């Protein structure tokens, strides 16, 4: 039974993710761990799933500390003092979703082997109920937000030594999207000396203000507010604040590829390593000619695993997940916001954007039955091999001097996704990819 996707267990409340499932996951987890810390984002079903998980864990003898409504990076930071961390969150998904994500003490999400162990225990009903006098304790912790904030402030001050002595504070519009970010980010940015104007800082599981995903289409209010208030930048987070995106001083959304190149420019040492997913723009490669850029499968957990394996300086996903390994392997949308403020104190975000090389990109899909995907991808591989350097960790990516082409089967839909980026002739390059897929299907 496959419970975990690349972002943990996630699905529609009371249909795919139920109290019964949460209880079984709690029992399975509690059978292998002595203690755990648990938190939740503001999802309507958060309390329900949290209680079921806790009942299962303590019934199997595991002590549980509750830290309440927190962001995912706050929970992952708190997990350093426990055998594991449990976050009840559906991240950037719409209101009807809920989910469970499990964390190791170093801020790394459970890997495939750890997830399979839980799946097998749940499937086998292989559960270890303990005697009445060995059930776990349930306690409440109240320091997690404070400790996470202090860790961030301490790190940011070390990087940006001048930040607290600037006379003119930066004006920042912060859109928490009614997610968990409202529990920490406004206070932290004010402690850094910023003039903070908040939007949607009240956590609300109905997400009444906007869809929780912080993409260009969902941030119209933030873009307008940055201009109206004459702010230096705008910051947006997703429902559990592991993701962060930004708007520059002109109210223009900074794309994920731009954000990745800007952070990497500050984080990566000469000769150091940067980890990004296969669909990341070559803007990143061209902006960081002295770095070794490593590409992984799409998914922040794969980026985190590769950062750990290679000892990379930095890594991220253009969706808004930024991983600073000196702080944690968990993407941290609060640390990223604080770090960006330090950067913008020195140089305006619009100026940083203008310095980056920009290339046209074209994306599209071709409908393809799931059964045919394997055959089509074999054909794609043999054709693209003749064009340049192949990377086949997630679909097939071919890199040439003038650009790159990625052909990738969708994991969830009957489609093949095609992405092309080129210095010149992006339409022709895209047509090459589409032509190969269509010919294989004919
Ligand atoms: Mg998230």
Centre of ligand 1 to C-alpha 331, Å, is 9
Centre of ligand 1 to C-alpha 212, Å, is 9
Q: 398 and 298, same structural domain?
A: no
Q: 170 and 287, same structural domain?
A: yes
Global confidence as pTM = 0.93
CA–CA distance from 358 to each of 88, 180, 280, 348, 428 (Å)? Answer: 38, 34, 13, 18, 18
Residue 162 confidence (pLDDT): 56
Residue 167 confidence (pLDDT): 57
- pLDDT tens string 283-328: 999 999 999 999 999 888 999 999 999 999 999 999 999 999 999 9
Residue 119 confidence (pLDDT): 93
Give helix 19-32 / helix 112-124 axis angle, nearest 10°: 110
- pLDDT tens string 255-285: 999 999 999 999 999 999 999 999 999 999 9
Centre of ligand 1 to C-alpha 239, Å, is 6
Domain that holds residue 298: 146-354
Centre of ligand 1 to C-alpha 238, Å, is 6
Count other Cβ atoms within 10 Å, centred on residue 292: 14
Residue 6 confidence (pLDDT): 75
Centre of ligand 1 to C-alpha 242, Å, is 5
Q: 211 and 341, same structural domain?
A: yes
Exactly one of 7, 55, 59, 91 is catalytic; name it: 91
More confident residue, 123 or 167: 123
Centre of ligand 1 to C-alpha 219, Å, is 16
Q: 431 and 341, same structural domain?
A: no
Q: Is position 133 within any domain?
A: yes
Rounded to whole angstroms, the Cα distance separating 378 from 223 reads 44
CA dihedral 341, 347, 350, 356 (to 10 degrees): -110
Q: 320 and 377, same structural domain?
A: no
Active site (annotated) includes residue 91: yes
Q: Is position 1 within any domain?
A: no
Residue 344 phi, psi (nearest 5): -70, -20
Q: Point out the domain boundary residue: 354, 387, 419.
A: 354
Q: Is position 2 within any domain?
A: no
Q: 135 and 24, same structural domain?
A: yes
Is the separation of the CB atoms in 287 and 356 below 8 Å? Answer: yes
Tell me how many domains the chain contains.
3
């Amino acid at each position: 039974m496959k419970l975990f996707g690349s972002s943990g267990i996630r699905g529609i409340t009371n249909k795919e993710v139920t109290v019964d499932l949460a209880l079984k996951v709690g029992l399975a987890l509690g059978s292998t761990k002595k203690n755990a810390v648990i938190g939740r984002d503001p999802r309507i079903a958060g309390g329900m799933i949290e209680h079921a998980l806790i009942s299962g864990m303590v019934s199997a003898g595991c002590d549980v500390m509750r830290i309440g409504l927190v962001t995912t990076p706050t929970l992952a930071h708190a997990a350093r003092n426990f055998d594991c961390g449990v976050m009840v969150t559906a991240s950037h998904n719409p209101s009807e979703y809920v989910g469970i994500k499990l964390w190791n003490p170093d801020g790394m999400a459970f890997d495939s082997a750890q997830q399979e162990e839980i799946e097998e225990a749940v499937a086998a009903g292989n559960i270890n109920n303990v005697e009445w006098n060995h059930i776990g304790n349930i306690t409440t912790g109240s320091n997690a937000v404070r400790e996470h904030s202090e860790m961030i402030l301490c790190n940011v001050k070390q990087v940006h030594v001048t930040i607290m002595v600037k006379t003119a504070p930066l004006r920042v519009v912060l859109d928490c999207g009614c997610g968990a970010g409202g529990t920490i980010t406004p206070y932290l940015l004010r402690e850094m000396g910023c003039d903070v104007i908040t939007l949607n800082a009240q956590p609300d599981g109905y997400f009444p203000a906007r869809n929780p995903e912080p993409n260009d289409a969902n941030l119209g209010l933030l873009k307008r507010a940055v201009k109206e208030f004459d702010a230096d930048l705008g910051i947006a987070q997703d429902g559990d604040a592991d993701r962060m995106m930004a708007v520059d001083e002109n109210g223009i959304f900074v794309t994920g590829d731009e954000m990745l190149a800007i952070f990497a420019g500050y984080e990566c040492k000469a000769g150091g390593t940067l980890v990004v997913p296969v669909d990341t723009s070559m803007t990143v490669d061209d902006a960081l000619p002295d770095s070794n850029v490593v590409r992984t499968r799409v998914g922040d957990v794969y980026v985190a695993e590769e950062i750990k394996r290679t000892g990379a300086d930095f890594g991220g996903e253009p969706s808004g997940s930024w991983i600073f390994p000196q702080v944690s392997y968990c993407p941290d949308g609060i640390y990223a916001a604080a770090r960006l403020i330090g950067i913008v104190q020195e140089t305006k975000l619009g100026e940083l954007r203008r310095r980056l090389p920009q290339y046209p990109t074209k994306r599209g899909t071709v409908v393809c039955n799931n059964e045919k995907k394997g055959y089509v991808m074999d054909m794609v591989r043999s054709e693209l091999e003749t064009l340049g350097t192949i990377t086949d960790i997630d679909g097939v990516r071919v890199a040439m001097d003038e650009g790159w082409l990625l052909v990738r089967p969708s994991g969830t839909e009957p489609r093949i996704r095609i992405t092309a980026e080129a210095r010149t002739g992006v339409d022709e390059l895209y047509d090459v990819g589409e032509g190969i897929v269509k010919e294989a299907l004919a």
